[in-house]
Structure 1
């Protein structure tokens, strides 16, 4: 079994203190990132040090595919680190820490959001990185499909992958796959999906897909509905260990 963690924005506490920010993306989609998706740089480091210090193995996507499709075993204490949306803070703050600690991670890339040219860092908004910047972080991050232009929502219960036709969704998946390395791994935008979404991924030959439903992934977990845990800022370390499924 294994646990997956998902991060979005990792920033110093002084930057987080100014509150919720609008996103800035290449295709012009407008939204704001909820505050629970921010983690302080200090807490991010604390979490990684906890994982390293207690002997966790940081998984690759190939290891997870082997677990589900080739009946391979995983190390007893296994974890996958993921990021969504490719905001500037991922490069400015998270990337140097992960690189220094020798930890690889997966980044789910909404490629229609990614800029063609690098933008100046802005504390006051959540700006997405450029393709060149993402390439520069390839020694740490494996990039996977998060749709091309379909990272859009209506409220908290419906995302674009649910209201477009299957054919249109498949075409968008193919567009995203022109830019990402892991072409058979997906994360549902906003964690919103239905069983039609799952079936479309299955017919498009995807092997893994990640939700934002918390929990531990076991052999019984459907590989196209894998659990991911959002790490809430300042979650006490004992509660964090509970999230990992550690026995007391």
Structure 2
């Protein structure tokens, strides 16, 4: 049978179409300045405008994105450029990261517990944690610093025996008013007025001596034997938030980056803290006055009244944690009221040091009086 030229052309055309459906090619599509590759494969053919068929186009699978770390996920929840995601590492540590704020004091750092061990603090590196390097220990007295909005703190541990052998005695310094007069004030509260020059020299000694400044939650856990505090520790406090404290002394602790607690009578002062190194805690709301027997209201009122006053004070300050007893007066009813209000610590004016096992609602102090020098401070805190 003779094949005509027309039949030959039709057969050639069919073979060409068939080859087009079988040959895989790559189409390069420019999208928004980028290049996306599509593979042409032997898929089902698609009709074209001229009635012929073209091979189906299948997208190349999109690569699975790398999952975000816990710190990256945390940072994604805030637009604060000063936010810092702080992670925690170390033996037995399984804690979620926290958001902290750079250039502010650390807040709410966890105090982990483990059977047969005593937590010895957070450190800048694993090596510092293993050596318990005091200068590298980090707590709520330190400003937050981080790199690329992230930081890792490393847990240090010690043994109960080593903790007991340290036999730390933690001094709580108690200041009141301040004066610019080297000769002091000439009134019945003369001993309350520390000369500001002496105070600055004392704070310089603490700063330059590298003393550890425990937070109140660390002190509470230390009393329970759950947190190690070094002997080289001190807590600085002021009573009453007097105008001389605000004008003269608070700038000193700010200049020297020293964590201090100011015990505020909130019926007299409701303003925020004078600077980032001053924690404001309760000196009661309206109990810094005498009751019927001449003693403070904390030993005259019932526990519910005391608790209600402390709750009001805590609402204004935004914190509970510790209360300083007005005039240092307290009794069992006082303690009951403090517990009812949810406060964990109570500070007296009795002389002494905080040790493992100290009554948390009867914390002793080292009173700082007018005329006390740096040498007196050395004798008191080592």
TM-score by length of 1: 0.78
Report the aligned-residue RMSD: 2.2
Alignment of 1:9-20 (within 5 A): 9-13=177-181, 16-17=184-185, 19-20=186-187
> Counterparts of 1:1-248 in structure 2 under 5 Å?
1-13=169-181, 16-17=184-185, 19-20=186-187, 34-69=189-224, 71-114=226-269, 131-132=270-271, 135-153=272-290, 158-244=295-381, 246=382
1:155 to 1:98, Cα distance in 2 relative to 1, 3 A = farther
The 3-state SS of whatever aligns with 2:363 is coil
Asked if structure 1 preserves the Cα contact closer than 8 Å seen for 2:170 and 2:233, the reply is: yes
Check the 8 A contact 1:142/1:181 in 2, yes or no.
Answer: no
Distance 2:268 2:184 in 1: 22
SS in 1 for 2:323: strand
Q: Note the C-alpha offset of 1:155.
A: 9.8
Residue of structure 2 in register with 1:28 after alignment: none
Aligned to 1:121: none
- CA–CA separation in structure 1 for the residues paired with 2:319 and 2:273: 17
Moved >4 Å (runs of 4+): 154-157
Q: Which residue of 2 aligns with 1:126?
A: none
Q: Is the 8 A contact 2:174 2:368 kept in 1?
A: yes
Structure 1 position 157, deviation (Å): 6.8
| Equivalent residue pairs, number | 214
Give the Cα separation in 1 of the matches to 2:317 and 2:373.
Answer: 35
Provide the C-alpha distance between the structure 2 equivalents of 1:237 and 1:138, rounded to a whole number of angstroms: 25
- Structure ranking higher on relative contact order (CA contacts 8 Å, 6+ apart): 1
Larger Rg: 2
**Equivalent pair of 2:224/2:356 in contact (CA under 8 Å):** no
Aligned partners of 2:223 and 2:358 also within 8 Å: no
Which segments of 5 or more consecutive residues in structure 1 lack a partner in the other structure? 21-32, 115-130
Corresponding residue for 1:27? none
Instruction: Specify the SS of the correspondent of 2:279.
Output: strand
Query: How far did residue 154 of structure 1 move?
Result: 5.4
Gaps of 5+ in 2: 1-168
